[in-house]
Amino acid sequence: MFRSVIIILFCFCSVLADAQRFSNEFLSIGVGARAQAMGKTGVATVNDATAGYWNPAGLAHLEHDGWQVAAMHAEWFAGVGKFDYISGAKKLGETGRTIGISLIRFGIDGIPNTLNLFEEDGSINYDNIVPFSAADYALIAGLGQKLVKGSDKWTAGANLKIIYRNIGPFATAFGFGLDAGLQYKTRKWQIGLSGKDITGTFNAWNFNFTDDEIEVLEVTENELPENSVEVTKPQVILGFARNFELKNKFGLLAEINFQTTTDGRRNTLIQTNTFSIAPNLGLELDYKKFLFLRMGVSNLQKDTDIGSDPFWTFDPSLGIGLIFKSLEIDYAFTDIGDQRNSTFSHVISLQFKIPKKKSSL
C-alpha cells in the first residue's frame, strides 16, 4: 500500500521539487529531429515551421507560400513517457510576415491510482484502481517579420505561450509567457538571439483531493501540496552558424548556441550564483540539399567518479535527414532527457509543405 502511494505521488515530487528553478522543464526538451541531432541547436539557422519553438524570428524565412506542417514523436523509458509535437506556419502574402502555431504534449498515461484500493473494512478491491494521466501541454502562437522590405538579412519575431499542466483529478495548472527573437543572415554567416520567458512564465497550481484521499495521504505520512504559483525565469540563447561550400556538391553547416539561464547556479561550463551558460554544438553535412548527416554535443557537465575525481561529461547525438519534393523526414538518436536518467531515444519528425490553392479566376 505504502509503495503504491509513493509511486503515485512521484509526479507531485517532480512538480514541487525545485519548482522555481526547473519550472516547465518539458519545454526544454526541444522539437524536431534535425535540431535534436545537432545538439539542440537552431536559434541562428531555423527557418521552418519549428521556428515557433526555437526562435520566432526564423518564421519570417519561410519560403513556401502555402502551409508548412511539422510533427515529432519521441518516447522515454521504453514508451512510458511520450513527447508529441505538431506545428504549422504560413506566410501572410507579400507583407514579410509569417504566422506559426505549435502544440506540445509531454505525458505519462495509465498511472494507477491506488488511493482507494482498500475498502472501509480493510479488504482490497482492485476494481477501485482507476488509471490517470500526468501531462503537460503548451500552445505557442508566433509571428515572424522581415525588418527590411525585400531583404532577408534582418528578421524579428515573438511568441505567446499558454501552458496547461494536469495530474489526473488531483492537480491542474494554467500559465502564460512571452518569447522574442532576432536573426541576422548573410550568405555564409547566420546569427540568432532568442529570449525565452522574457516576462517570466507564470503557472498557477490548484490541488484538489477528496476527504478520503486526504485521509489516506495523512495516514501514510505524505505531505499535502498547497495551491501555489511558480515562475519560469527568463533565459537567453545566442547562436552563431556558418555555411561551408565543399567539393563534389557537398555542403557543411556548423552552429554553436550559448544558453544563458537566470535561475541561479547550474552544472554548466560557465556558472555563477546569478546565471549559468551552457554551450551546444551541431554539425550538418549535406549532399545536394537532399541527404543530410548530422551530429551534435550538448549538456556539458562536470561529474565525479567513484574516487571523487572530477571529469566532464556530455550528451552526444546523431541523425539523418532526407528531403523528397514536399516531404522532409528526419531521424535523431539522442538523450532527450538529462544525464541523470540517460534516456537515449529514437526521435522521428516530419515536415510537409501543403501546396497553395490556385485561384479559380
The C-alpha atoms of residue 173 and residue 206 are separated, in whole angstroms, by: 6
Domain assignments of the chain as residue spans, ordered by start: 2-353
pLDDT given at position 215? 73
pLDDT given at position 342? 57
Side-chain half-sphere of 179: how many Cα atoms within 13 Å? Answer: 30
pLDDT given at position 5? 38
pLDDT given at position 152? 87
Side-chain half-sphere of 271: how many Cα atoms within 13 Å? Answer: 10
| DSSP sequence for 99-167 | EEEEEEEEEEEEEEE-TT-B-TTS-B-GGG-EEEEEEEEEEEEEEEEESSTT--SEEEEEEEEEEEEEE
**Could you tell me which residues are beta bridge partners of residue 156?**
145, 182
The C-alpha atoms of residue 141 and residue 88 are separated, in whole angstroms, by: 10
Q: Classify residue 123 by burial, with Cβ atoms within 10 Å: 0-12, 13-18, 19+.
A: exposed
Size of the chain in residues: 361
141 and 158 in contact (C-beta within 8 Å)? no
Residues of the chain with pLDDT under 70: 1-22, 78, 115-116, 119-120, 336-343, 357-361
Neighbours of 129 (CB within 10 A): 14
The C-alpha atoms of residue 304 and residue 310 are separated, in whole angstroms, by: 4
pLDDT given at position 339? 46
pLDDT given at position 240? 98
Say which CATH architecture domain 2-353 belongs to: Beta Barrel (2.40)
Q: Classify residue 242 by burial, with Cβ atoms within 10 Å: 0-12, 13-18, 19+.
A: middle
94 and 217 in contact (C-beta within 8 Å)? no
CA distances from 4 to 8, 131, 225, 301 (A): 6, 13, 18, 34
What confidence tens digit (pLDDT) does each residue in 125-154 have? 777 777 888 999 999 999 999 999 888 899
